[in-house]
Amino acid sequence: MNDAIVKRTRSVPAQKIAAFTGEGAYHGSTKPRPQAVRPAPTAPVEEMRPTTLEAYAARGARHIAEFDATFPNRYEVKSILPVPTQDEIQGDGVTFCWCLIDEAIAEAGPLTRRVLEEMTKHLRRDKRFIYIDSKIQWFEQGDVPVDSQHWHVDGSIAVRDERVQALGHRLLHDMRARLDGAAPPPTYLAYQSSTHCATQFATAPLSVRMPELIPNFDELDLRVRALDPACEPQPASSIVAFDGLSLHRAVAARSAGWRLWIRCSETDHEVRLNPSIVECYGTVFRRAAE
């Protein structure tokens, strides 16, 4: 059984729905994870090395300092493909959760395969792994594709260990290491099929004062929103490029309909699937009626 590949018939009644909390889901969630047998931890690759946290632990620091962070926000539209029909999206059949790209292309439905073949033209191929994530989701108006609408970056250096606990947290994202680290960040290509639920990307460099280590994206989101950055929604049926230094956020669906979302990640970090990630992938998050 390969948890990275999900094959199933899609229907509106079968769409998995959860209450929207804003807590983050798989954006570095602070929720307790299900107990599972996990491999022994290994030293992180340089791309994911928490150098700031290491320095804190070495000197026994207990106070998290702030720094001036500059997000370059490298967002670029690479391709715009024909907008698929709702039947094409619903019938595509196969989605992926951190699946290696060659396997994803071999197993993909016709729509996803066309997108992946176009994505291969824009790969950098300078990292060890190329992973594919995808979702086919039915949205009602107001639904959110993930359990957060915070400004955030993908591929943050998220750590859960005794060094984090010593600072009074369950999880910390080492933002200074990501922004100031010597190793290039992970890079991404993303596709979204539709006009009614488009990820919003910051489109110009942005500097913000923030903590070096953050337990979640709440405070960063507040500070970024206060600066009201230049941004734009991803065009329908487009492939866009960005990286681990690029701020973006999910938005609520403006109308009902199916959406196919695909992300291609180029990274030196080997992903080991966690049951909680597989379980929530493709879930739609819905706010309680007011």
Per-residue CA distances from 237 to 79, 174, 176, 200 (Å)? 8, 33, 34, 14
Rounded Cα distance, 284 and 13, in Å: 12
Domain boundaries, the chain: 5-38+67-154+181-286
pLDDT tens digits, 79-134 = 999 999 999 999 998 999 999 999 999 999 999 999 999 999 999 999 999 999 99
Q: Give the chain's end-to-end CA distance (angstroms, integer).
A: 42
Q: Give Cα 49 to chain centroid, integer Å.
A: 19
Rounded average pLDDT over 67-74: 98
Give this prediction's pTM. Answer: 0.93
**Res. 149 pLDDT band, cuts 50 70 90:** very high
- Residues paired with residue 238 on neighbouring β-strands, in sequence order: 80, 192
Rounded Cα distance, 89 and 219, in Å: 36
> What is the DSSP pairing of strand 94-96 with strand 5-7?
antiparallel
pLDDT tens digits, 245-257 = 999 999 999 999 9
Question: Where would I find the beta strands (DSSP E) of the chain?
Answer: 5-7, 17-19, 66-71, 76-80, 94-96, 99-100, 129-139, 158-159, 172-174, 187-192, 200-202, 206-211, 213-214, 231-233, 238-243, 248-249, 257-267, 284-286
Closest Cα partner for 139 from 35, 9, 20?
20
pLDDT tens digits, 56-68 = 999 999 999 999 9
* 194 or 277, greater pLDDT: 194
What residue type is 125 in one-letter code?
Answer: R
For residue 37, the model assigns a pLDDT of: 45
Rounded Cα distance, 241 and 77, in Å: 6
Q: Report the percentage of the chain scoring pLDDT > 90.
A: 85
Can you tell me whether residue 46 is helix, strand or coil? helix
Neighbours of 14 (CB within 10 A): 9
Can you tell me whether residue 252 is helix, strand or coil? coil
